Amino acid sequence: MVNAEKFIAKAIEDIKEKSNGKKVVMALSGGVDSSVCAELAKRAIGENLMPIYVDTGLMRKGETKRIKELFSDLNLLTIDAGDEFFEALSGVTDPEEKRKVIGAKFIRIFEREAKKTGAAYLLQGTIYPDIIESEGGIKSHHNVGGLPYDIDFEGLIEPLIDLYKDEVREVAGALELPVEIQHRMPFPGPGLSVRCIGEVTKEKIAVVREANAIAEEEIVEKYSPWQCFAAVIGLGTGVKGDVRLHGWIVSVRAVYSRDAMTAEPVEISWETMHKIATRITAEIPEVARVVYDITPKPPATIEYE
Ligand code: XMP
């Protein structure tokens, strides 16, 4: 593990030096990586930091509001881009294609907004496992591979490039970021779209968003998992009242992990599973069935796509 204090001092110096007195733009998602980057950059260059948050319409319940509150001390620019993302995703079913469409859309929007700021540098929260996974062809991260944006940045600043997630969390602690951010579960860049097998529609995302919120409410505090969530994995038959229903099948997943390269399912109690299934089917009328996923990684991945 890095010495967090030394890492912070050096990262601040590096950001100062690399940005050369010019403006720096960054995409802030509210996850621990981008939050640590934002805090380091704020300490290094203050007002020259220009963070942008893109609401893709694929975020968790209450996420945009929470991010605005958490980062109220930053000059955060929020872009409401949900409609653009749903339009771009229409008809797309292949998981890698989805990632590419979302990555490209995100970049275009970010590029458009960043251009207006006149920033010379781009700051990214890329961490070491992103590089390994992209190079290994496991999945493409749109923040890996040099400068992904067409606009004329003079350079890229990636302060966390040598760190694993648990090291980033230690740095977050040393920076005294809110505990909520330090312990935030990882949330994938493509958002709820990878928790929605097949085509992404507004209806499916609304179901996934509610189911995720319920899974988090029932699991996070009791089990402190590395990650827990719910995904829509297909359609099945159910019965509500006297009526047979063709409804969504929701899978709930909770895992422990060190760095997301491997993962073990959390042994949720029967009582908790029962409560989750009852709540999801009662609170989300479109859901016919709830299952709990007990597959480790490998062979399964953590997300569904
Ligand atoms: P998997 O599903 O590959 O996920 O076991 C490992 C970790 O990465 C997150 N994840 C992503 N993060 N872009 C991201 O920024 C992505 O496309 C993506 N896909 C998965 C996942 O949530 C887990 O923490």
ipTM score here?
A: 0.98
Residue nearest to atom 19 of ligand 1 (CA): 188
Strand order in the sheet with 155-157: 77-80, 49-55, 24-27, 121-123, 155-157
33 is in an annotated binding site: yes
Whether the CB of 188 sits within 6 Å of ligand 1: yes
Ligand 1 center–CA 188 separation, angstroms: 5
Residues 173 and 221 in one domain: no
pTM (two decimals):
0.88
136 lies in the same domain as 233: no
Half-sphere exposure of 154 (CA within 13 A, CB side): 11
Same domain assignment for residues 177 and 216: no
* Residuewise pLDDT in 10s, the chain (305 residues): 679 999 999 999 999 999 999 999 999 999 999 999 999 999 999 999 999 999 999 999 999 999 999 899 898 999 999 999 999 999 999 999 999 999 999 989 988 888 899 999 999 999 988 887 777 666 666 566 555 567 678 899 999 999 998 899 999 999 999 998 998 898 998 999 999 999 999 999 999 999 999 999 999 999 999 999 999 999 999 998 888 989 999 999 999 998 889 999 999 999 999 999 999 999 999 999 999 999 999 999 999 99
Same domain? For 208 and 135 the reply is no
**Structural domain that includes position 69:** 4-182
Domains in the chain: how many in total? 2
Give the residue carrying structure tokens 């979302």: 102
d(CA 242, CA 142): 47
Boundary residue ending a domain (148, 182, 216): 182
| Alpha carbon of 94 to ligand 1 centroid (Å) | 16
Q: Is residue 93 assigned to a domain?
A: yes
Domain containing 43 — which CATH number?
Answer: 3.40.50.620
**Boundary residue ending a domain (182, 214, 235):** 182
